[in-house]
Amino acid sequence: MKEFKHEFPKEIIEELKQIGTPRQLKSHEVLINNGEKVNKLYLILEGGMILLFIHPKTGKEKAINFFIPTFHPLATIADSFYYGNQSIYQLRTFTNTSVIEIDKADFDKYLEESEGGKFIYDFGLKSLLQKNTIRTLLTNLTSEEMLIYLKDHFPQILQNVPSKYVADFLGITPQWLSKLKHKI
């Protein structure tokens, strides 16, 4: 099994630890709720989070992104964080998770003043491009084709995110996901 390392260099992690607060979070802990304004982001050191869209009429939850140390380790609700909008999403852990919690003002100052700011900007652009590609594929591939894509390009998601969330992300049942995993 391939070992995955944190997407951020150790130096950047250490710099972010200097401006943030370490937190140990329990499984299924909600950090940002639907309707809230967001002024924090989280660097995931261990564990993981899921971003859920909350349907405005039914309240039904839909998994739309994952955050683990080896895949998009900076977790927040971006549009609310940057524009001050109320969130239409929920951000919560799916396992016990270790993070560095960073306030927006401290993060903005870090981006402006630190040499690590360029890395963060480049990382943000790379993450946005990955998310756009994944969403495009998700709407155009079958669940089996999408599972193969995740397996080939982001196996750390399949290895670290609970199957019920991966299945929800793919729009299938956990039972169907299990069958597809055995098939491929």
Backbone φ and ψ for 5, nearest 5 degrees, come out as -105, 160
pLDDT at 184: 87
pLDDT at 46: 96
User: Helix, strand, or coil here: 7?
Assistant: coil
d(CA 17, CA 10): 10
Per-residue pLDDT of the chain (184 residues; tens, 9 = 90+): 445 578 899 999 999 999 999 999 999 999 999 999 999 999 999 999 999 999 989 989 999 999 999 999 999 999 899 999 999 999 999 999 999 999 999 999 999 999 898 999 899 889 989 999 999 999 999 999 999 999 999 999 999 999 999 999 999 999 999 999 999 8
First vs last C-alpha separation in the chain: 17
Q: Which of 90, 102, 120 is nearest to 44 (CA)?
A: 102
In angstroms, how far apart are the furthest CA atoms of the chain?
50
Show the domains of the chain with their CATH numbers: 10-183 (2.60.120.10)
pTM: 0.89
